[in-house]
Structure 1
Amino acid sequence: MYITDSACISPQRTFDDAFFEGDIKVHEGDRYMAIEPAYGQLIPAGLLRRMGKAVRMGVGAGLPLIRKAPIEGIILGTANGGLEDCLKFLNQIVDYNEGTLTPTNFVQSTPNAVAGNLALMSKTTGYNATHVHKGLAFEAALLDTMLLLEEKRGKQFLVGSIEEISDYNHNIDLLAGSFKRGYFTSENLLKLDSPGSANGEGTAMFVVNAGRPEQAIAQIRDVFQSNNLIEKELPQVVTAFLQRNGLQATDIDAVIMGISGDNRTDHWYFNLQKALFGAANCHTYKNMVGDYPTASAFATWMGAQMIAGKRIPAACVWTQKNTRTPKHIMIYNHYKASQHGLILLGS
């Protein structure tokens, strides 16, 4: 399937071209908060005031795309989208002794609130689904969309992901050892030999088409996901994934790896790069946006822009072997070394 348009809101200024012009935000600490655009002309003030952050970002990225291109369905992936409103609602049950509660937090407390709001605001009555599969939610959304296009259930869909940092969930993950301790910044996140990473959030939305229209930015050729990989089997799995698409590891111009700075799990990326992709450019992105379950959506957005000819910032370059515009990009990301996703992009 082909990407014809995209939008991204992230801890970097990605809602315009500032990110590719070298305007990089340096984050401190273990929370990389999203830099949001002005929503005033897009969302009515009364509605905007009642929106939770996940809904606000999802609508802010998705609605402009829908208004530019008619779509036949909305497919999103998330792990924690709507969680902040969910916990606010649960706390209200206690605070008000199960009395009369405000409906806003309840309405926006479920993961499908973003897809629902997008459908209502754009009057899209077609297929609407939200995949909540933790670290593979975005990959599941892509596979769902590919199946819909293959079954000719429609020609054009909106697919994407949404994630927000919830105070409650962040603290639970912090106690579990998911984030680094002490003072650090996004500039040295990947260089610290210590456990944990930094938390991130954001949304990436794509308009995808079954055929290759003139305005196509890039092609999502294939997606793979697994919950039970053994590290020594990863190179064989990746090789088989490429072979079923008629490619070899040497055909890949660039790889985008989910290197997070966590010394307990980053060896998955380093060993795969050494085994298969020594001749390809290697790029990172979690030092830009943090680590979160659907971070691979940002990698997909960044990879599509690279294929379209955009020059990514030097801070995203891990190793550079060539300077040509990539034709084939391989994205590999894992979530806590338990959920593994591969996405193959082409020109």
Structure 2
Amino acid sequence: MKKTYINGVGCISTQKTFDTVFLEEAVVNHDQNVLAIVPPVYKDYISPAASRRMAKGVKNGIVASALAMKDANVEKVDAIITGTGLGCIEDSEKFLKSILDNNEEFLTPTSFIQSTHNTVGAQIALLQQCKGYNFTYVNGAVSFESALLDAKMQIEEDEAQSVLIGGVDENGDYTTALFKLSGRIKEDNKAPYDVLTSTTSGAVYGEGASFFVLENERKDHTYAEVLDIAIVNTLAENEIEAEIKSFLKSNNLEISDIDALVLGFDGNVAFENYYRNLAENAFSETPVLYYKHLSGEYDTASAFALWMAAKILKTQEIPEIIKVNSVEKPVYKTILLYNQLNGKNHSFTLITK
């Protein structure tokens, strides 16, 4: 079976994650409960005429995918696989609003056409003239992991040699307001919004697009090898450690073999014990890292985590801003990522240098 290597990465997020080395310009925002994207110069990648009609998520996806392809030195890929939780939610909102404003008459279909979840993958394929396998996964908080798993299987089975995968989500004003009402986002005017020391429910929200070029051969600029991905729908807090141990065992690894653990702390006090128990017990001797204070919580935030982990393996450095504890290792070889959303959709991703 062929191995799967990450050969290129591109990330547009709520931090400046392009045109920099690695998070040296990152800032933690304690004042906002919804973080906005740091936009790239779109006209460098998309013609202004086309850009005007595109939703934010589509533009970010196109730029992130272009950055990943450039990073991997590839012009063409065999397949494009995206994961998204809410798809192009802004266009969905626009269309629904125009239905109400116009009494269901005289509607322009543009927003409706562009509101589907697979718009991002389709636009990237059109720009690249890629006529291969093109698939979008909409599986809540494991949308990106589903795309990663599919890509890994494509490469292992020799169905594809290079696959572009990514996770994209955007914030829409109306949806954000609903998330605040339902308690999914922290209440307004309750700053500071600290992710690690939070005592309130709800998360600090964000948006972003992270893309990766996966290939079946190792190159000079390879970031990491994707060893394994596992997705479990429901787990109790006391079952996580056993689940991780059996996941590692299936890859002939033990907890002591993990050089860094990346956890999805998002500030929602009701579900932080899933992470805290691991950090304080089984992995107390391991460097523990977090990322949602930088990226915000969204369905495909775990793609940002994979971008971060791949960068750590390549640079062999861990920025202070993402450390949960002060444990350090002389060399970083194997990293485990664990994420869940509100106690469901648990995902485990294992990558190695």
Aligned partner of residue 147 in structure 1, secondary structure? helix
How many residue pairs were aligned? Answer: 346
- Alignment of 1:340 onto 2:346: yes
Quote the residue 2:153 is aligned against. Answer: 147
> TM-score scaled by structure 1?
0.95
Quote the residue 2:327 is aligned against. Answer: 321
Cα deviation for residue 22 of structure 1 reads: 4.0
For the 8 Å contact 2:22–2:311, the answer to whether it is kept is: no
> TM-score scaled by structure 2?
0.94
For the 8 Å contact 1:221–1:345, the answer to whether it is kept is: yes
Quote the residue 1:228 is aligned against. Answer: 234
Quote the residue 1:237 is aligned against. Answer: 243
Between 82-91 and 66-75, report the one with greater CA deviation.
66-75
Aligned-partner Cα distance in 1 for 2:68–2:195: 33
For the 8 Å contact 1:13–1:19, the answer to whether it is kept is: no
Quote the residue 1:49 is aligned against. Answer: 52
For the 8 Å contact 1:55–1:108, the answer to whether it is kept is: no
Unaligned runs of 5+ in 2: none
For the 8 Å contact 1:20–1:310, the answer to whether it is kept is: no
Quote the residue 1:11 is aligned against. Answer: 14
> Following superposition of structure 1 onto structure 2, how do residues 290-305 of structure 1 map, counting pairs within 5 Å?
290-305=296-311
Aligned partner of residue 341 in structure 1, secondary structure? strand
Q: Which amino acid aligns with 2:87?
A: G
Quote the residue 1:138 is aligned against. Answer: 144
For the 8 Å contact 2:258–2:334, the answer to whether it is kept is: yes
Q: Which amino acid aligns with 2:174?
A: Y
Cα deviation for residue 21 of structure 1 reads: 2.2
> Following superposition of structure 1 onto structure 2, how do residues 177-216 of structure 1 map, counting pairs within 5 Å?
177-181=183-187, 182-185=189-192, 188-216=194-222
Aligned-partner Cα distance in 2 for 1:286–1:65: 22
- Which of 172, 181, 192 is the equivalent residue of 2:178? 172
| Residues 201/27 of structure 1: CA separation in 2 closer, same or farther (3 Å cut) | farther
Aligned partner of residue 145 in structure 2, secondary structure? helix
> Pairwise CA RMSD of aligned residues?
1.6
> Following superposition of structure 1 onto structure 2, how do residues 60-209 of structure 1 map, counting pairs within 5 Å?
60-66=63-69, 68-69=73-74, 70-181=76-187, 182-185=189-192, 188-209=194-215
Between 2-11 and 12-21, report the one with greater CA deviation.
12-21
Cα deviation for residue 18 of structure 1 reads: 5.8
Cα deviation for residue 273 of structure 1 reads: 2.3
Once the two structures are superposed, what CA deviation does each residue of 1:60-115 show, in whole Å capped at 9, x if it has no partner? 11134346412111001001121110121122123223333223212210010000
Aligned-partner Cα distance in 2 for 1:35–1:158: 23
Aligned-partner Cα distance in 1 for 2:162–2:30: 36
- Which of 16, 26, 29 is the equivalent residue of 1:26? 29
Cα deviation for residue 274 of structure 1 reads: 2.8
Aligned-partner Cα distance in 2 for 1:227–1:150: 25
For the 8 Å contact 1:66–1:122, the answer to whether it is kept is: no
Aligned partner of residue 320 in structure 1, secondary structure? coil
Percent identical among aligned pairs is 34
For the 8 Å contact 1:77–1:137, the answer to whether it is kept is: yes
| Residues 18/328 of structure 1: CA separation in 2 closer, same or farther (3 Å cut) | closer
Once the two structures are superposed, what CA deviation does each residue of 1:230-287 show, in whole Å capped at 9, x if it has no partner? 2211111100100111110000010011011221100110112233211110111011
Cα deviation for residue 146 of structure 1 reads: 1.1
Aligned-partner Cα distance in 1 for 2:28–2:276: 26
Cα deviation for residue 16 of structure 1 reads: 2.1
Aligned-partner Cα distance in 1 for 2:23–2:97: 42
For the 8 Å contact 1:83–1:166, the answer to whether it is kept is: yes
Unaligned runs of 5+ in 1: none
Cα deviation for residue 310 of structure 1 reads: 5.4
- Which of 37, 40, 51 is the equivalent residue of 1:37? 40
Aligned-partner Cα distance in 1 for 2:66–2:253: 36
Cα deviation for residue 13 of structure 1 reads: 0.3
Aligned-partner Cα distance in 2 for 1:248–1:318: 21
State the 4+ residue runs in structure 1 displaced beyond 6 angstroms. Answer: none
Aligned partner of residue 276 in structure 1, secondary structure? coil
For the 8 Å contact 1:253–1:327, the answer to whether it is kept is: yes
